[in-house]
């Protein structure tokens, strides 16, 4: 039987402070090495483990259509509040299964996994990679 690990443990404790901390990081600096590989807008982007939505917001501002997956309810609410003026589509879902996103039968040109993968053990990573692969459009890229 596979062990279920709560990978969101600790993220709810002070979600407002965490969100502020995440929002202080500059998207263009954080992703400067991979930005040249990102698809041109408008593309379909999936930000998994979106946290406060910092990256989702920056990508929407660049002209992309962005789905932000965030399993920690308190962080998701913070993100929705902070970026209320932007058309980010928030989904409550989690790796490795991404059940809700997968049942929508959509594909994405860019899947972003920023500071999330470290929460998954080896078996969960294998399963998560299968989920991510199923969500990639032809020629799509994963940034992690």
Residues forming contacts to ligand SAM in the complex (CB under 6 A) are: 7-8, 11, 22, 48-51, 54, 70-72, 75, 94-95, 114-116, 119
Residue nearest to ligand SAM (CB): 51
Which lies closer to ligand SAM via its Cβ, residue 82 or residue 94? 94
DSSP structural state of residue 103: T
Q: Give the residue with the Cβ less far from ligand SAM, 59 or 114.
A: 114
Smallest distance from ligand SAM to CB 87, Å: 19
Q: What is the DSSP-derived secondary structure letter of residue 125?
A: H
Distance in angstroms (rounded) separating the CA atoms of residues 137 and 16: 34
d(CA 114, CA 88): 17
Closer to ligand SAM by CB, 8 or 80: give it.
8
Nearer to ligand SAM, 48 or 140 (CB): 48
Give the whole-angstrom CA distance, residue 115 versus residue 119: 8
Residue 114 token pair: 């920023």
Q: Minimum distance between the CB of residue 50 and ligand SAM, rounded to whole angstroms?
A: 6
Q: Is 97 exposed, middle or buried (0-12, 13-18, 19+ CB in 10 A)?
A: middle
CB of 97 to ligand SAM, least distance (A): 9
């Amino acid at each position: 039987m596979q062990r279920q690990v709560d990978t969101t443990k600790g993220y709810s404790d002070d979600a407002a402070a965490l969100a502020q901390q995440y929002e202080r990081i500059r998207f263009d600096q954080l992703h400067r090495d991979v930005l040249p590989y990102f698809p041109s807008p408008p593309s379909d982007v999936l930000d998994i483990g979106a946290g406060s939505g910092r990256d989702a917001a920056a990508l929407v501002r660049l002209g992309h259509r962005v789905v932000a997956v965030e399993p920690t309810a308190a962080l998701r609410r913070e993100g929705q509040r902070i970026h209320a003026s932007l058309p980010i589509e928030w989904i409550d879902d989690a790796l490795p299964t991404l059940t809700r996103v997968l049942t929508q039968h959509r594909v994405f040109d860019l899947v972003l996994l920023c500071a999330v993968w470290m929460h998954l053990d080896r078996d969960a990573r294998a399963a998560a990679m299968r989920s991510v692969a199923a969500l990639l459009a032809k020629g799509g890229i994963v940034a992690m």
